[in-house]
């Protein structure tokens, strides 16, 4: 699919820019502390440890923020969770991924998200989304989340956010340590660090939006039902209007539907506009 290839090219360009930011940070560290093997090894190990901590802590926080519970494998009240398990098992066979841990939560809005990687993934769906969607629409949502795991989207986003944090820290302390060490220096350093981090996050958010399009298209391809995926997005968007989502600040970027607000949403939004996602699906 041409659109799919175009998205991948744009993601590669944004990823190259992120690597450039990391290379600049590495260069600044090595310029300050030397270019020896020990400095390089410490830089690489420190970067891996930083990313690893953010990945593990972020996964734990996402599940905790919505009070996610393991999804039963049978019926519980009005919910037939066994049917959901069977759908996921079939999709996993189609997509060539291991079945992730399935969890359910009361989020206050119809939504779903995935955390983890291939072989250690978790998919969380809200009870509200089970109430709202027809079975084929829910299958589209499940396939979307499995696509995120298959494509290692969570790992890539954590890597991008880690690079943004490292750039901000280096800029902040580089300015502070090179200044007069007074209160004004600390304030300016914090401001410059924040601005630097925001600049890098523009590229991270661009990658996030591209990956939502790719996951939509993958879901439509594997379920062979792009219209069901489009209908699911429309219903989720309508069902979330005027409602607050539990754990929103922690999991909004991970969810199938993200809140869109503020004049800078076009640049810093983690999700493309729902209308554009639906139009792309209906054009498949």
Helix 2-33 vs helix 37-65: crossing angle, to nearest 10: 130
Q: How many residues appear in the chain? A: 284
- Tokens 């879901």 found at: 219
Asked if residues 244 and 111 have their Cβ atoms less than 8 Å apart, the reply is no
Is-contact 170 194, C-beta < 8 A? Answer: no
| Confidence at residue 195, expressed as pLDDT on a 0 to 100 scale | 93
Residue 89 falls in the annotated catalytic set: no
pLDDT of 172 strictly over 60: yes
The residue whose two tokens read 């992730």 is 100
Q: Which residue has the higher pLDDT, 258 or 98?
A: 98
Q: What count of other Cβ atoms lies within 10 Å of the Cβ of residue 226?
A: 20
- Is 281 a residue whose pLDDT tops 60? yes
Instruction: Quote the percentage of the chain above a pLDDT of 70.
Output: 87
Domain ranges of the chain: 2-282
pLDDT tens across 35-74, in order? 666 666 776 787 788 888 888 888 888 899 999 999 999 8
Q: Are 115 and 250 in contact (CB under 8 A)?
A: no
Q: What mean pLDDT do residues 216-241 have?
A: 93
Q: Is 172 left (phi over 0), alpha (psi -120 to 50) or beta?
A: alpha
Asked whether residue 110 carries a pLDDT value surpassing 60, the answer given is yes
Q: Cβ(129)–Cβ(79) under 8 Å?
A: no
Helix (H) or strand (E) holding 115: strand 112-115
The pTM assigned to this predicted structure is 0.83
Res. 33 pLDDT band, cuts 50 70 90: low
Is-contact 143 222, C-beta < 8 A?
yes
Give me the chain's average pLDDT, please.
Answer: 84
- Please tell me the predicted confidence (pLDDT) of residue 137: 97
Catalytic residue among 145, 212, 217, 260: 145
Confidence of residue 2 (pLDDT cuts 50, 70, 90): very low
């Amino acid at each position: 699919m041409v659109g799919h290839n175009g998205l991948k090219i744009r993601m590669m360009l944004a990823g190259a820019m992120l690597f450039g930011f990391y290379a600049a940070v590495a260069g600044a560290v090595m310029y300050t502390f030397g270019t020896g093997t020990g400095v390089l090894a410490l830089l690489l190990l420190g970067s891996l440890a930083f990313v690893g901590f953010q990945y593990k802590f972020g996964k734990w926080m996402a599940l905790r923020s919505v009070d996610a519970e393991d999804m039963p494998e049978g019926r519980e009240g009005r919910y037939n969770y066994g049917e959901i398990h069977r759908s996921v098992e079939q999709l996993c066979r189609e997509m060539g991924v291991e079945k992730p841990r399935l969890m359910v939560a009361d989020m206050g809005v119809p939504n779903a998200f995935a955390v983890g990687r291939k072989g250690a993934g978790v998919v969380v769906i809200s009870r509200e989304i089970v109430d709202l969607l027809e079975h084929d629409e829910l299958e589209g949502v499940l396939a979307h989340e499995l696509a995120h795991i298959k494509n290692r989207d969570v790992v890539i986003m954590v890597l991008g956010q880690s690079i943004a944090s490292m750039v901000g820290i280096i800029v902040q302390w580089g300015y502070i340590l090179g200044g007069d060490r007074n209160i004004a220096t600390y304030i300016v350093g914090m401001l410059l660090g924040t601005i630097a981090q925001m600049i890098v996050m523009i590229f991270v958010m661009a990658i996030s939006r591209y990956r939502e399009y790719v996951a939509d298209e993958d879901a439509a391809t594997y379920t062979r039902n792009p219209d069901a995926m489009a209908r699911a997005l429309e219903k989720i968007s309508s069902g979330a209007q005027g409602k607050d989502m539990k754990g929103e600040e922690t999991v909004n970027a991970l969810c199938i539907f993200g809140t869109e607000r503020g004049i800078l949403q076009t640049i810093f939004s983690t999700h493309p506009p729902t209308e554009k996602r639906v139009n792309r699906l209906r054009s498949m």
